[in-house]
A = this chain, B = another copy of it.
Amino acid sequence: MNALVRAAYPWVKTPIIVCAPMLRISLAPLAVAVSRAGGMGFLAGGFDQSDMEKNFRQARELIHQSSPPIPQKEGVLPVGIGFLNYGVKLEMALSVVKRYIPAAVWLYAPHKLSELETWAEQIRDVTDGKTKIWIQIGTAAEALEVARLCQPDMIVIQGSDSGGHGLKQSASVIVNIPEVGDSLAAAGFSHIPLIAAGGIAEGRGLAAALALGANGIVMGTRFLAAKEAQIAKGYQDDVLRAKDGGTSTARTETYDIVRGTTDWPPEYDARGIINATYFDDKRGMPIEENKKLYQEALKKGDEGWGPKGRITTYAGSAVGLVNEVLPAGEIVKKVAEDARKALERTSKVNFE
């Protein structure tokens, strides 16, 4: 695995630490900072070709300016791009991917998993296999299906603790990683590296993911408190404030409804920090009124966030482990170092 990852992504230090492609947040400065530190940065694709091109151009520029230079593979951009498949046209994605040759394309949330077969095939085709195919799934059944259809280069396993969108029903990574690993191995796919997503925000989580059989981790919520994240201060402050994410965040469809982002496939909802929008909905406020109040909150700027605010604050249940804003590169290095220490500690556990 290490050899495969090193060959495909020569700047990556293993175990691989990935910054999730968070819509409108994971732009070029964050993605490049993560890759520069030996992690794997992803641009959030979004739905608009001109935005994607702009983000890629900026990433290319930042990579070009990096000193020391980021170790690269000839003709491959050392960042990836994430697509929300339910909302992106293949032709548009292909035209952008062909032009910029990102190191990886991360596919997620198609209407049907079977759609991904064509995506994987054509992306490999237009990039001569230079762009690797990452697919994010949430169950062992989904993992098996995409392994058979697409032979992905990497499978990202999303657990129930993850922030933002995810399956309404899923286990956490403590279950999913071993079960997906066993299922794939039994079907002859043990060579596909696995990346754990959801609930991991620091080094002990990375160490645990490795013990479970993953080859690396994705973090989203942790990078919301990265200096380079494109994020409102009110949002970031609330991420730093929230503790005990099991109770201070919730999976719900309410945030999608008030925001009008209701085009996700029906098996998804999203986890966010609970706020007035959520409480009012639970108390029975008519959704039209909640929507109106949401629009009014948007005008308040940073004041619109917070436990009494209304603006959607997507975050995972690991939010309580995020306590300070740091440069993304320092986050990558600190998580790796803390994982190394955790594994040094566990290597001394006495099994008599």
Contacts and interface: CB of A to CB of B under 8 A. Distances in A.
Interface residues of A, number: 63
A65 interface: no
A199 B210 CA distance: 16
Contacts of A124: none
Given A211-B211, A321-B179, A171 B246 contact: yes
A156 to B, nearest CB: 15
A169 interface: yes
B210 A346 contact: yes
Contacts of A339: 351
A131 interface: no
Contact of A174 (B139, B140, B159, B247): B159
Nearest to A200: B174
Contacts of A352: 13-14
A273 B187 CA distance: 25
A153 interface: no
B246 A138 contact: yes
A344 B204 CA distance: 17
Given A205-B178, A246-B138, A349 B15 contact: yes
A141 B351 contact: no
Interface string A204-231: 1101111111000000000000000000
A237 B200 CA distance: 34
Contacts of A32: none
Given A169-B250, A174-B205, A211-B207, A244 B320 contact: no
Contact of A211 (B167, B208, B247, B317): B208
A161 B174 contact: yes
Interface string A141-174: 1000000000000000001110000010111111
A63 interface: no
A192 interface: no
B182 A321 contact: yes
Interface of A: 2, 13-15, 138-141, 159-161, 167, 169-179, 182-183, 198-202, 204-205, 207-213, 243-247, 250, 317-318, 320-321, 336-337, 339-340, 342-347, 349-352
Given A161-B172, A211-B345, 16 more contacts: A14-B351, A14-B352, A15-B349, A141-B243, A161-B175, A171-B246, A171-B318, A175-B320, A179-B244, A179-B245, A183-B243, A208-B209, A208-B212, A210-B349, A211-B211, A344-B347
